[in-house]
């Protein structure tokens, strides 16, 4: 607290001076480029060529915002990040290594934002401006806790970087997270990343697929039962919630859960207790709940098949996973990852693909998303007789894809939803601004925003 007061005192002495941005990167060209750009924004820029120098600069003078590279000599960027966060300095991490683990770890340790090289100059300047505004009103707190690193996800696209950032921000908390996306996009992988980067990572991680278990058995799977509770209950069974105590439970495909079980899940979230079937006492459970679905829960709420109160309990933070067709730039990375995985499993020396194969993989739309791509590569590696995958080992639908005919209403709705997402990214959740951007009626804009963005009210 003493350091914070000292910093505020120093800041008050130079209120008429330019905000100071520290740029720490071991590449001279990056330092010079960023310094030139930010100086044009009426900002004072100080630079450091390694982590040790960055920490010395932050000790010697007031720094209002910092841009820090991950891989630097002497002291690495993550260590610098932790020290700067303790000084209440918002830190934007810059790196060429934007893997899921790196991004999640940076956000978990308190980074304000994350940018991968090569970066867009205008985007960088905008992030710096927002970080400076943030630093005026918010105290930045470090995120503490142990972490077990595990490379669960592959992809460096902008869409996946946003997913990694959200994981890093929510992992250290205990909030309920709703993970949405089409089948095969990796919802379970996201839930595992949240668990393994959380303080609960030493506890159990339990997955329950609500769609795969018959309704009459799901209750006993979740809550367990006492001996003699029903015919065939010859001994006590411990349910998944008790097994997940002090850890995390993922309720996968929760949109398929019956209304009766939804009510029981709501009670667990509200009271943190469960009752075994046939039991007479409440059993306290300390479990973080994550939920995943490929269904539109808001539509299910409107139709009356999903409880609204449970929806809001689950949807404290939502992580929306993009389909693979919307992040095709990740296909080469994913293909390489799966080739290595299945080459090792089959003891084959497959090292890559021909240009024709990569072109075919990039052109395909993957209705089954990442899971389908993995299956395609697994099949190809199994059939491959050489060191590279060729067209003859790909399934017919990839080599000669037939145009998928979809109902026009569905295509138009998807295009409209995409347009509204883009408008919200520019104008925020202001109905009038969105209506002006899209040149639609204000009432129609309000209707769509309320339908697709749950935080928008009716005003």
pLDDT on residue 454: 55
Mean pLDDT to the nearest integer, 172-193: 93
Mean pLDDT to the nearest integer, 123-129: 87
Residue 75 main-chain phi, psi, to 5 deg: -130, 125
Question: pTM for the complete prediction?
Answer: 0.64
* Maximum Cα interatomic distance, the chain, rounded to a whole number of Å: 79
What does the alpha-carbon distance between residue 181 and residue 371 come to, in Å, rounded to a whole number?
Answer: 13
Q: Where does the pLDDT of residue 142 fall: very low under 50, low under 70, confident under 90, or very high at 90 and above?
A: very low
What does the alpha-carbon distance between residue 3 and residue 89 come to, in Å, rounded to a whole number?
Answer: 12
* Alpha-carbon distances of 100 from 114, 155, 264, 311, rounded to whole Å: 11, 7, 35, 28
- Contact status, residue 97 vs residue 72, Cβ threshold 8 Å: no
**263-279 per-position pLDDT tens digit:** 999 999 999 999 998 88
pLDDT on residue 280: 83
Residue 13 has pLDDT above 70, yes or no: no
Q: Where does the pLDDT of residue 252 fall: very low under 50, low under 70, confident under 90, or very high at 90 and above?
A: very high
148 vs 202, higher pLDDT: 202
Report residue 183 as tokens.
Answer: 């089948």
**What is the H or E stretch that residue 318 is in?**
strand 317-320
Residue 153 has pLDDT above 80, yes or no: no
Mean pLDDT of the chain: 85
Q: Where does the pLDDT of residue 11 fall: very low under 50, low under 70, confident under 90, or very high at 90 and above?
A: very low
Residue 134 has pLDDT above 80, yes or no: no
Residue 77 has pLDDT above 90, yes or no: no
- Pair type for strands 65-69 and 20-24: parallel
Using DSSP, state whether 98 is helix, strand or coil: coil
DSSP string covering 107-174, please?
HHTT-SEEEESS--HHHHHHHHHHHHHHHHH-------------------SHHHHHHHHHHHHHHTS-
Q: Where does the pLDDT of residue 113 fall: very low under 50, low under 70, confident under 90, or very high at 90 and above?
A: confident
pLDDT on residue 403: 61
- What is the C-alpha R_g of the chain? 25
User: Where is average pLDDT lowest: 64-68, 123-127, 292-296, 327-331?
Assistant: 123-127
Calculate what percentage of the chain has a pLDDT beyond 90. Answer: 42
What does the alpha-carbon distance between residue 12 and residue 9 come to, in Å, rounded to a whole number?
Answer: 5
Same fold, 2-137 and 172-320: yes
Residue 376 has pLDDT above 90, yes or no: yes
Residue 144 has pLDDT above 80, yes or no: no
Please report the beta strands in 388-455, taking only residues with DSSP state E, as ranges in sequence order.
388-389
Q: Where does the pLDDT of residue 151 fall: very low under 50, low under 70, confident under 90, or very high at 90 and above?
A: very low
Residue 180 has pLDDT above 50, yes or no: yes
Other CB atoms within a 10 A radius of the CB of residue 339 amount to: 22
78 contacts: CB under 8 Å, gap ≥ 6: 70, 105, 106, 109
Mean pLDDT to the nearest integer, 391-409: 81
pLDDT on residue 369: 95
* Alpha-carbon distances of 29 from 23, 35, 47, 95, 227, rounded to whole Å: 12, 10, 12, 14, 71
- Burial class from Cβ neighbours inside 10 Å (0-12, 13-18, 19+) for residue 318 reads middle
pLDDT on residue 183: 92
- Burial class from Cβ neighbours inside 10 Å (0-12, 13-18, 19+) for residue 213 reads middle
- Pair type for strands 283-284 and 273-274: antiparallel
257 closest CA partner among 312, 311, 205, 181: 311
Residue 418 has pLDDT above 50, yes or no: yes
Q: Where does the pLDDT of residue 297 fall: very low under 50, low under 70, confident under 90, or very high at 90 and above?
A: very high
pLDDT on residue 178: 96
DSSP string covering 22-61, please?
EEE-S-HHHHHHHHHHHHTTT-EEEEESSHHHHHHHHHHS
User: Where is average pLDDT lowest: 91-105, 236-250, 273-287?
Assistant: 91-105
Residue 290 has pLDDT above 90, yes or no: yes
CATH architecture of 172-320: 3-Layer(aba) Sandwich (3.40)
Report residue 251 as tokens.
Answer: 């309720």
Instruction: Assess if CATH 3.40.50.1470 describes domain 324-399.
Output: no
Q: Where does the pLDDT of residue 152 fall: very low under 50, low under 70, confident under 90, or very high at 90 and above?
A: low
- Contact status, residue 30 vs residue 120, Cβ threshold 8 Å: no
**276-289 per-position pLDDT tens digit:** 988 888 999 999 99
Mean pLDDT to the nearest integer, 117-121: 81
First to last CA, the chain: 42
Domain boundaries, the chain: 2-137, 172-320, 324-399, 408-452
pLDDT on residue 1: 41
Residue 414 has pLDDT above 50, yes or no: yes
**331-375 per-position pLDDT tens digit:** 998 999 899 999 999 999 998 899 889 999 999 999 999 999 999
Q: 2-137 adopts what CATH topology?
A: Rossmann fold (3.40.50)
Residue 88 has pLDDT above 60, yes or no: yes
pLDDT on residue 404: 61
């Amino acid at each position: 607290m003493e350091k914070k007061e000292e910093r505020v005192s120093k800041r008050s002495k130079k209120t008429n001076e330019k905000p100071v941005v520290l740029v720490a990167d071991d590449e001279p060209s990056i330092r010079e480029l960023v310094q030139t750009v930010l100086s044009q924004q009426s900002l004072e820029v100080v630079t450091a060529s390694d982590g040790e120098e960055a920490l010395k600069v932050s000790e010697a003078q007031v720094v209002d915002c910092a841009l820090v590279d991950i891989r630097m000599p002497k002291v690495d960027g993550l260590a610098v990040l932790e020290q700067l966060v303790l000084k209440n300095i918002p830190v934007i991490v810059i790196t060429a290594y934007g893997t899921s683990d790196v991004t999640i770890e940076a956000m978990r340790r308190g980074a304000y934002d994350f940018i991968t090289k090569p970066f867009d100059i205008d985007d960088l300047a905008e992030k710096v401006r927002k970080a400076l505004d943030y630093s005026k009103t918010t105290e930045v707190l470090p995120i503490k806790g142990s972490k077990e690193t595990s490379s669960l996800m592959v992809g460096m696209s902008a869409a996946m970087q946003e997913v990694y950032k959200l994981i890093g921000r929510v992992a250290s908390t205990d909030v309920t997270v709703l993970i949405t996306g089409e089948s095969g996009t990796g919802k379970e992988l996201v839930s595992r990343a949240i668990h393994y980067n959380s303080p609960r990572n030493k506890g159990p991680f339990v997955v329950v697929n609500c769609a795969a278990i018959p309704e009459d058995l799901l209750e006993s799977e979740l809550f367990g039962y006492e001996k003699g509770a029903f015919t065939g209950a010859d001994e006590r069974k411990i349910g998944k919630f008790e097994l997940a105590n002090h850890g995390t439970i993922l309720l996968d495909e929760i949109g398929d859960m019956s209304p009766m079980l939804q009510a029981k899940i709501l009670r667990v979230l509200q009271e943190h207790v469960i009752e075994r079937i046939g039991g007479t006492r409440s059993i306290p459970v300390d479990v973080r709940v994550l939920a995943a679905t490929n269904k539109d829960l808001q539509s299910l709420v409107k139709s009356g098949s999903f409880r609204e109160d449970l929806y809001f309990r689950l949807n404290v933070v939502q992580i929306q996973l993009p389909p693979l067709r919307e992040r095709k730039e990740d296909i080469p990375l994913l293909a390489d990852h799966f080739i290595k995985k299945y080459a090792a499993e089959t003891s084959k020396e497959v090292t890559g693909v021909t240009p024709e194969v990569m072109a075919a993989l990039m052109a395909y739309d993957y209705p089954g998303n990442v899971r389908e791509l993995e299956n395609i590569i697994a099949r190809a590696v199994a059939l491959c007789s050489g060191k590279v995958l060729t067209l003859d080992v790909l399934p017919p639908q990839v080599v000669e894809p037939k145009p998928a005919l979809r109902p026009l209403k569905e295509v138009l709705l998807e295009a409209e939803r995409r347009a509204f997402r883009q408008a919200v990214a520019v104008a925020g959740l202001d109905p009038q601004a969105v209506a002006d951007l899209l040149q639609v009626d204000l009432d129609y804009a309000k209707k769509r925003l309320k339908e697709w963005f749950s935080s928008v009210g009716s005003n």
